Structure formats: C-alpha cells, structure tokens
Amino acid sequence: MAVLEVENLGIRFGGLQALDGFTFAADEYEIVGIMGPNGAGKTTAFNCISGFYTPTSGTVRFKGQDITGMRPDQKAVLGIGRTFQQVGLVRSMTVLENLLTSQHARIRYGVLQGLGGAPGALGEEAQLKARAMEVLDFMGLAHLRNKTLGGLPYGTLKMVEAAAVLATDPELLLLDEPSAGMSPEESHEFGDLLLDIRRQLGVTIVMIEHHVPMVVAVCDYIYVLNFGRLLAEGLPAEIQNHPEVITAYFGEESTYGAA
Amino acid sequence: MADFFESVFRALMVGMVTGTIYGLIGLGIVLIYKAQRIINFAQAEVATFAAFMLYLFHARVGAPYVVAMLIAIVLAVALSVGIERIVIRPLRDAPDVTVFVATAGVALFLIAMTFLIGGANILIVDPLFGEIETRIAEQPLLGLLSPQRLMVLAVLIAFSLSLAWFFAKKPLGRAILAMSAEPFAVRLAGISADRMSTFVWGLTGLLAGVAGVVFIPTSALTPGYFTANALIPALTSIVVGGLTSLPGALVGGLLIGFLSELTAQFTPATVPSPNIIAAFVILLLTLLFRPKGLLAREA
Amino acid sequence: MTDLAKLSPEEHLGSELHGEHAAASAEADFHPSGAGWAARISVPAAVVALILALPVILPYDYQADIVSLAAIYGCVALSMNVLVGYLGQLSLGHQAFFGVGAFASAVVATRWGYPLPLGMLAGAASGAFTAVLLGYVALRVRGLYLAIVTLAYGLLAEVSLFQFGFLAQGVPASRPEALASPRAYSYVVLGCLALLFVLDIRLVKSKAGRAIQAIRDDERVAQSFGINVTRYKLLAFIISGTFAGLAGALFGHMLGYVSSENEFNLVLALTFVLMTVVGGLGNRVGVLMGAVVFATLDEILDAMHTFIPYFPEVNPVVVPVIGAALLVITLIQFPGGIGQQIQPIQRWVRGGRFDMHAMHEYHGSGGGIVGRP
C-alpha cells in the first residue's frame, strides 16, 4: 500500500515551470531516493509535498488522503516529518528543548491547560521528556541534552535533527540531502542509521540525495529529476548505468558508471 | 463649493510645507538605508537638536540669526557624525534590528538632553524674516505662505536639485547609490567603507539640521518636537515612496503632508488628531497592499 | 509509539564523541547535596521575603507607591519579554496596551461603578484586544516594517484614542476603602506581579512558550514541527497585551486618575524597550531587575544625594539620559543585559554548580533583536 502518492505534481513561478508532471510513489517501509542535478526541482518538490509551496497542478496523497493544499503544520500532525538542507532546528534552544518542541504535533493538552499547570498537561510534559530521552539515548546523544546548538559540530547537528524528527514517531520521513556536509565515513554511518531506523521503527523514507554511494546502498527505488521533469526511474543498479542520468549529471562524454 | 476648494487649497498650502519636512527627514533616513541597510530612528531628533541650537545661540547667546543658523547646522552635522562613530560603527556586524533599537536609544538620549536646555517649556523661535502669517495681496489663503514657509519650500527645491546632481554626476554620489546594490564592488573600487559611512551620516546630519532650523519658526519648539511630529509621517512617506527611493522620499513626504492635512480639513472637530489617523491608515494600506512602495526599483 | 528503550542502541557516532561523553555526562548529572539545595532555595526566598516586607518597613507612605510602580513596570517588562524576547518582535508602541488598560479599568471600575477586580479584568482584556489587532497586522507585515507600524500604533493611541470624547478630560480611577492606603494597595500590585511571573514560568515550560520561541528562530522549522504559526503569533500578542493591560489598570488605580497627562507617549514606549533590553531579553528575572532599576532610578539618585557625601543633586531628567546611555552600552558591549550578568547565580539556584563562566555561554533568547554575545 502506498504511503505517499504524488501525481502529476507541477508548480509555476511567474514564467518558470519549476516542476512539471512529477509522479512518484513510496510504499510502506520503502526508502525512495530522489536525485537530479542542482536546480532540477528536488527541494521544490519537497516544498510542495510538505506544504511550504502550493502546487499549481497535481495531487499529493498520504495513506490515501488528499493532503495537497494543507499547511506544513497540519501535515506534521498527520505524521509526516521533514528535515532541511541547512539543519532544521531551533537555534536558541538546547538539544533536549528541541526534542520537546519537535513533538509539538503530538501534544494533546490545550494552551490554557499548559498555562494553568493542569495535571494532565504536566503529565504529558513528563512523557514528552521521557520520549525525548529515549530517542537521544537511542542515537547516543544523551550526554548533549543540555547543550545549546551553537557549539556543536555539523555532523552532530544533523543527528540531533534526525532525533528531533524521530521523536514524533513519524510514518513518513522526508529527508532533504541528509548527507550534505558529511565526510564519506559519516555518510556511510548515516546510511546504516537510516536502514536501522527503517527496520526497527517502521518508517517510510523519501530522500533527496546527491551522494551516489549512499543512495545506491540505501534506496530501494530511485527517481531522477531534471529541469523539473522526471528523467528516469528504477532500481539503483539501473539508474547508476542509465545513460541519460549520467549525461544529466556529468555531460555528454562522461564515462562515469561504465563497467 | 467654494468652501470645498478653499479647504483643499488650505490643505495644499499647509501640507506642502509640513510635507517638505517629512520628505527631508525621510530623505535622510532613505540615504542611510540605501548605504547601510540601517533605519535611523534618531534622524528627526537631530533636526530638533539643530532647532534647539538655533534657539540657544540666537535667543540665549545673542548671536545674529544667520550665524546661529549656520552654527546649528554645523553642530547637527557633527552630531550625526558623532552618532556614526560612537554607536553605529561598533555595531557594524549586529543585526539590523539591534542597530535600529540603538538609534532609538540615541533619540531618547537627545530628547532628554534637550530637556536640560529648555526644560518643559515651549520655546518660540523667531522666523528669519517677517511675521508668520502675512497677507500677500490681501488673500487670506496665500497668506499662509509666509516668507518662512516659502523658505522651507525653497530649501526643498534647492536640496532636491543639488542631491539629484550629486548622485547622478559626482563619483562619490554614484558610489553611495551603488553601495546598497553592490557593496563589494564599491569596496573593490577603493572607496573606504568608513569614510563613506562618515560622509553619508554627515550628509544626513546636514539634511536634518537644515530641516530643523528652517521649519521650527513656523511652529513651537519642545523637546522631541520633530520625533513626535515628523518621524512617523516621515517613515510613512518613505514606505509609500519606497524605502530605497530618494525621490520617493520627497514625493512621499509631499503626498503624506497633503493627504493628512486634507483629512484634517474634512474631519469633524470631534475626532482627535485626524492627520495622524490618516498617516496611520496610509501606512497600513501601503504595507498590506503595496509593500515595495510606489517608486522603489529594488527590494 | 515505538518503545525505543527496548531496542538495541547501536552506536552510530564516530569515536571522537566518546571522549566528550564522560565529561558532558558528569556535568549533566551534577546534583547538589541537601545543604546545597538549602542554600539554593534560601537565596531567592530571602529576596522574596524582603520584597514582601518592603511595603511595611519603608518609612514613608509615598515609598509604597514607588514599590507599586516598580512592580507595575515589572509587569510591563514581563509583557514586553513575551513579545520582544520570546516572539522576537520589536514593539515600539507598547504604551498603547498599557494606556488602554488604564483607561478601561478606570471607566469600568469607577465611571461605571463595577467592582475593582472587574475593572482590572477589563483592563487586561482591553490590552489583549488592542494587541491582537496589531497581531493580525503582524501576520502580513514583518520585521522592521512591523516595528514601524507598532510605533505608529502607539502614537495613534496617544494622540487619538486616548483623546476621544470624555477620555480627553481624564477619568478618575478610585479604589475601595480597604485599599486606599498605598501600602495595602502595593500588596495587590505585588500579588499581580507574582501571578504574571508564575504564568510566565508556565508559558515557557509548556508547548505555547516553546512554539512562540521556535517561530522567532525559524518559522519553517516551527511549521515542520507541527506548530500553527498564525495561532501562536496571535497568542503571543494576546498574552503580551493582557499583561500590559493589567499593568496599566494597576497603574491607573495607583494614581487615582487616568488622563493624557500621564503621558502614554513615545518616551514611555522607549523606556519600556530599554528596561527590557538592558534587563536582558528572554530572561524574566533580568527584565524584572531592569524594570525595577528604571522605575526607581530617580529615587535611588535622590537617596544617593542624601546619603553619599559630595554626590550631586540630580535633575530627574537625567534618568532617561542614563537609561538611553545604558541601552546603547548594553547593545554594544553586553547584549545579554543584566540577565547575562546574573546567569551564574541563576544556574546555581536551578541546581547547577556556581560557575562564573556561565556568563559567557549565555543561553539567552535575544536572538533577532540583540546579537548573540
């Protein structure tokens, strides 16, 4: 059963058709990769799917429900988590505070109950904290819980961002270039982490990624965008050797991927 | 019917003069904004400061009027340069809002300081020549255009023309305009950012000083006068004209001056300060529907 | 929800972090001893006891009014802190909410004859309403442009709203016999301040406070966490307006009369800004201290003149001069304000070690208005 179905997604900015007729799907527990050269429209597609842009055409379905026009916060409530190219965290808060904030969509108590210190609210806050510590422990970040983000290295911030998103137990994870800025070893470890997360937590993952080795190692299926249109789709091995994909990335005379 | 036209004409006469001041102060703010992306909250208060200096040197110290005017203007320039050196430069890397708050602090400082000079009294500064309301050709309406008020308009025209020439023809002027679009290129051309900053602030000090000195005889002087009466209309003017448009500041000023006076003419006396209401409404409408202003070419 | 504790935590981090593990864990796990806690609780307790004793132990009645004024400014500081500190929106017309609260309470409680608490409620509600109107504008207009709108809004309130009809002559704002004495009334004011202080603590520890601060730092990230930006922005304005309106109501009834002579003007708005910035944006104790300093500065200078030999007699006008100078110095040198300076003490009280270095790793939220130190 498809968790995410995107049909004929298109968006136009003024005179520019940034995305045109993009159709893809992600089945339950799949890891789907979206590739393409810079400017191909990958992040634009993500912004349409997660609600930061309103597409001019096409539909987005999550578990069968049409979510095309919804706001980003509404989609988060439904169980869709998203990461950003520049780390998407609240800069002035500590690691733990970030994980409490990221669980906002899951909170059931109302604003007034929170302000009044109602027992239900206090109980839920304790649960939030417990959950946050669980995730931090799982990712080996517990010792950083009271640290502000300012002093932390980039790779660690990426991990914190992943933790923040995981704290809500999302069903669909949209990752925007998760390995950007990482060294080869770090992205290899991150790839393993993604496989672990998928296996142990049961998440569907759609990720934009440039780092070919990681995409090939991790993804079950790949879609390639170019100039806003779907260029190719297939299994990683197929895509790796696909002539048009190689041309799009490296130009006509390239021998990349041969043999 | 004649009443209607008389009201409009009255609004035009008075509005042009107040509008000029809004425009001059707005011009100073746009200048600094174009050069450094800073909104100078203290701009209007520099004008008040100049007015106080005019009062001090003419009424208290007894210097001849024109000499007192010149001293006041020079001191305004010095004050503006001083603000740049002491407050703006150390905050070079700070966020824009921080610098804005700092200039608000400077404005408060100046308001309080001028209190020390004049106390809470309302001071009257004599006009340069003639009475405030004279009768030109027995026409009561034209009489609104007293010599002092005419001087205000003359200043406006003089400044508009000379600034237009400066920014179009002189290399330093063109460099300042280029600053907001291509700051790096300007540095590469060998123009020191510090000296340009000093110059721009000095120039805006000149604008504020002249505005203060020339306008104050048409009204009464109190601490914080221009900040209370002209800052917000000036900010509205530059929003309407476009935050990065120099002619927009002047046009916006005249427009706001005219429209607010017009509103005042046609509103029943029971409504307090209709001109402020008008300026506020114009500000809101512009920000909500045409945030770039009427004349701006860049964001 | 998946129970992560039952899963095997596989180590995915590089080894370089393991060394830090021990040190950071030790720091995160520090717990004071029983005596340590006793000391940590007794310091704030002593301060609170002193404050509560002031209205009784001060020699002159008018001094109780100064205590009230300081507490009222404290309420305004908490109000400013929500809007400027937590939401990150500069407010240059805050006197509008303050003044509206004063007038509303005077009209409801005195002119219309309802009980005082109802008047105070009306003051708070009017402040909230006035603020939320601005909040709606804030959904479409941003940053410095919105700051200009707040400036104009404050002026509009001062010269137009507060001059409307019978308001122009001023409105008496009386209080019942039991509270006629300044000393008795100051306890009411202190009580309200305590209430707002507790509400602020609750705000920050609940989803609303986190949501508002997340919006300040990055709206897109906030949305991706499920935060409805519109709702929480408006909420910040409502809370801020409520606090300021209540403060205004307390102010009106302290003076006994609300009129334009109270000068709900730009200078007042700037004073509010500067006491919050100098106090330390985002730090509730800091902004309270800033408020107290500015409310009592001329009294302090007077006292210094009386008791310190050779200390000059100081014109009260000097207060805004000092204030403005402090504001500029704070912005340039000490962006975290008083709050930053008292960080070591605050950390200690909350159960950490006493560490002078805490001043330098200031975890404040001035971000957006004051640059991070």
Q: Parallel, antiparallel, or unpaired: how do β-strands A229-234 and A57-62 relate?
A: unpaired
Task: Pick the residue of A70, A92, A166, A197 with the most C CBs within 10 A to test the interface with C by mutation.
Answer: A92
As a whole number, mean pLDDT of residues B184-194 equals 71
CB A223 within 8 A of CB A30: no
Nearest CA in chain C to B225: C266
Do B and A make contact via 3 or more CB pairs under 8 A? The reply is: no
Residue C165, chain B, CB below 8 Å: the answer is yes
- Judgement on whether residues B264 and B186 belong to the same structural domain of the protein: no
Q: What is the pLDDT of residue B258?
A: 92
Query: CA-CA distance, A132 to A134, in Å (whole number)?
Result: 5
Q: What is the pLDDT of residue C19?
A: 45
Orientation of helix C229-255 relative to helix C116-138, angle to 10°: 140
Separation in Å, CA of C371 to nearest CA in chain A: 12
The amino acid sitting at C351 is G
CB C228 within 8 A of CB C70: no
H or E stretch at B248: helix B246-266
Of B96, B109, B280, the CB nearest to C144: B96
In a domain, C344, yes or no: yes
Higher pLDDT among residues B26 and B222, named by residue: B26
**Count: domains in chain B:** 2
Q: Parallel, antiparallel, or unpaired: how do β-strands A65-66 and A80-82 relate?
A: unpaired
Q: What is chain C's Cα-based Rg? A: 22
As to burial, measured by CB atoms within 10 angstroms (0-12 exposed, 13-18 middle, 19+ buried), residue B184 is exposed
pLDDT in tens, A143-166: 999 888 988 988 889 989 999 999
- Collect all residues of chain B within an 8 Å Cβ-Cβ radius of residue C133: none
**Among A23-27, A83-87, A227-231, C17-21, the least confident range:** C17-21
In a domain, B19, yes or no: no
Looking up tokens 């992205």 gives A187
Inter-chain contact B239–C148, Cβ cutoff 8 Å? yes
State how far the alpha carbon of A249 is from the alpha carbons of A20, A33, A231, A246, C180, in Å. Answer: 19, 16, 12, 5, 81
Of C4, C25, C210, the CB nearest to A100: C210
Nearest to C223 by CA among A105, A54, A170: A105
**Residue B268 contacts by C-beta under 8 Å, 6 or more apart in sequence?**
none
- Collect all residues of chain C within an 8 Å Cβ-Cβ radius of residue B231: 151
Inter-chain contact C327–B105, Cβ cutoff 8 Å? yes
Residue B142, chain C, CB below 8 Å: the answer is no
CB C355 within 8 A of CB B136: no
Q: Report the b/e string of A172-198 with b at 16+ CB within 10 A.
A: bbbbbbbbbebeeebbbbbbebbebbb
Q: What is the pLDDT of residue C29?
A: 67
pLDDT in tens, B86-141: 999 888 888 888 899 999 999 999 998 888 777 767 777 777 655 444 444 444 55
- Collect all residues of chain C within an 8 Å Cβ-Cβ radius of residue B222: none
Q: Count the Cβ atoms, other than its own, within 10 Å of residue B224.
A: 21
Inter-chain contact C270–B105, Cβ cutoff 8 Å? yes
Inter-chain contact A76–C3, Cβ cutoff 8 Å? no
Which residue(s) pair with A59 in the sheet?
A7
State how far the alpha carbon of A70 is from the alpha carbons of A3, A42, C163, C248, in Å. Answer: 17, 19, 45, 41
Query: CA-CA distance, A37 to B120, in Å (whole number)?
Result: 68
Q: Parallel, antiparallel, or unpaired: how do β-strands A16-27 and A204-208 relate?
A: unpaired
- Collect all residues of chain C within an 8 Å Cβ-Cβ radius of residue A71: 223, 228
Q: Please give the mean pLDDT across all residues of chain B.
A: 83
In a domain, B245, yes or no: yes
Across the beta sheet with A80-82, the strand order is A80-82, A172-176, A204-208, A31-35, A221-226, A229-234
Inter-chain contact B277–C160, Cβ cutoff 8 Å? yes
Helix/strand/coil (H, E, C) string of A12-42? EECCEEEEEEEEEEEECCCEEEEECCCCCCH
Between positions 167 and 206 of A, the ones with CB within 8 A of C are: 168-169, 185-186, 189-190, 192-193, 196, 200-202
Looking up tokens 């994870």 gives A173
**Fold for the domain defined by A2-79+170-250:** Rossmann fold (3.40.50)
Give the percent of chain B with pLDDT over 70.
87
- Collect all residues of chain B within an 8 Å Cβ-Cβ radius of residue C148: 39, 232, 235, 239, 283
**Residue B148 contacts by C-beta under 8 Å, 6 or more apart in sequence?**
B127, B128, B129, B130, B132, B214, B217, B218
CB B72 within 8 A of CB B215: no
pLDDT at B72 over 60: yes
pLDDT in tens, B214-233: 888 878 888 888 998 899 99
- Sorted by where each begins, the domain ranges of chain A are 2-79+170-250
pLDDT at B194 over 50: yes
Of B39, B109, B291, the CB nearest to C324: B109
In a domain, C14, yes or no: no
Task: Pick the residue of B38, B109, B117, B276 with the most C CBs within 10 A to test the interface with C by mutation.
Answer: B109
E strand spans, chain C = 171-172, 257-258
Q: If you count residue pairs, one on B and one on C, with CB atoms under 8 Å apart, how many are there? A: 137
Q: What is the pLDDT of residue A188?
A: 87
- Collect all residues of chain A within an 8 Å Cβ-Cβ radius of residue C222: 73, 90
Q: How close are the terminal C-alpha atoms of chain C, in Å?
A: 40
Residue B240, chain C, CB below 8 Å: the answer is no
- Collect all residues of chain C within an 8 Å Cβ-Cβ radius of residue B280: 152-153, 155-156
- Collect all residues of chain C within an 8 Å Cβ-Cβ radius of residue A76: 223-226
Question: What is the residue range of B270's domain?
Answer: 228-299
Between positions 277 and 306 of C, the ones with CB within 8 A of B are: 277
Inter-chain contact C217–A92, Cβ cutoff 8 Å? yes
In a domain, C34, yes or no: no
Nearest to C143 by CA among C92, C79, C101, C201: C92
Which residue(s) pair with A12 in the sheet?
A17
In a domain, C21, yes or no: no
Residue A221, chain C, CB below 8 Å: the answer is no
- HSE-up of B225 (CA within 13 Å, CB side)? 29
Separation in Å, CA of C211 to nearest CA in chain A: 7
Q: What is the pLDDT of residue B271?
A: 84
- HSE-up of C82 (CA within 13 Å, CB side)? 31
CB A176 within 8 A of CB A83: yes
Q: What is the pLDDT of residue B256?
A: 94
- Collect all residues of chain B within an 8 Å Cβ-Cβ radius of residue C327: 101-102, 104-105, 108
Of C140, C267, C370, the CB nearest to B288: C140
Q: Is B79 helix (H, G, I), strand (E, B) or coil?
A: helix
Q: Answer positive or negative: Cα dihedral of C104, C109, C115, C117.
A: positive
**What's the CATH number where C225 sits?**
1.10.3470
- Collect all residues of chain A within an 8 Å Cβ-Cβ radius of residue C363: 92, 94, 148
Q: Which chains touch C (3 or more CB pairs under 8 A)?
A: A, B
Between positions 107 and 136 of B, the ones with CB within 8 A of C are: 107-109, 111-113, 115-116
E strand spans, C193-350 = 257-258
Residue B96, chain C, CB below 8 Å: the answer is yes
Query: CA-CA distance, C109 to C95, in Å (whole number)?
Result: 21
Q: What is the pLDDT of residue C21?
A: 56
Query: CA-CA distance, A108 to A120, in Å (whole number)?
Result: 9
- Judgement on whether residues B232 and B259 belong to the same structural domain of the protein: yes
In a domain, C103, yes or no: yes
Q: pLDDT grade, residue A253 (50/70/90)? A: low
Of A82, A121, A202, the CB nearest to C206: A121
**Among A194-198, A252-256, C40-44, the least confident range:** A252-256
Backbone angles phi, psi at C275, to 5 degrees: -70, -30
Residue B25, chain C, CB below 8 Å: the answer is no
**Residue B180 contacts by C-beta under 8 Å, 6 or more apart in sequence?**
B33, B34, B35, B37, B244, B298
pLDDT in tens, A109-150: 999 999 998 999 999 999 999 999 999 998 889 999 988 898
Across the beta sheet with A2-13, the strand order is A16-27, A2-13, A57-62, A65-66
Higher pLDDT among residues A45 and C16, named by residue: A45
Of B93, B235, B276, the CB nearest to C156: B276
**Count: domains in chain C:** 1
- Judgement on whether residues B253 and B196 belong to the same structural domain of the protein: no
As a whole number, mean pLDDT of residues A217-230 equals 92
Of C12, C225, C229, the CB nearest to A189: C12
The ipTM, to two decimals, is 0.91
Do C and B make contact via 3 or more CB pairs under 8 A? The reply is: yes
- Tens of pLDDT, residue by residue, chain C (373 residues): 555 544 444 444 433 444 455 555 555 567 778 888 888 888 889 999 999 998 888 888 888 999 999 999 999 999 999 999 999 999 999 999 999 999 999 999 999 999 999 999 999 999 999 999 999 999 999 888 999 999 999 999 998 899 888 898 899 999 998 899 999 999 999 999 999 999 999 999 999 999 999 999 999 999 999 999 999 999 999 999 999 999 999 999 999 999 988 889 998 999 999 999 999 888 999 999 999 999 998 888 888 888 887 777 777 778 888 888 888 888 888 888 888 888 888 888 887 777 777 676 655 555 456 654 3
As a whole number, mean pLDDT of residues A18-39 equals 92
Query: CA-CA distance, C340 to C216, in Å (whole number)?
Result: 20
Inter-chain contact C332–B91, Cβ cutoff 8 Å? yes
Between positions 207 and 266 of C, the ones with CB within 8 A of B are: 265-266
Question: What is the residue range of C236's domain?
Answer: 60-359
Nearest CA in chain C to B232: C152
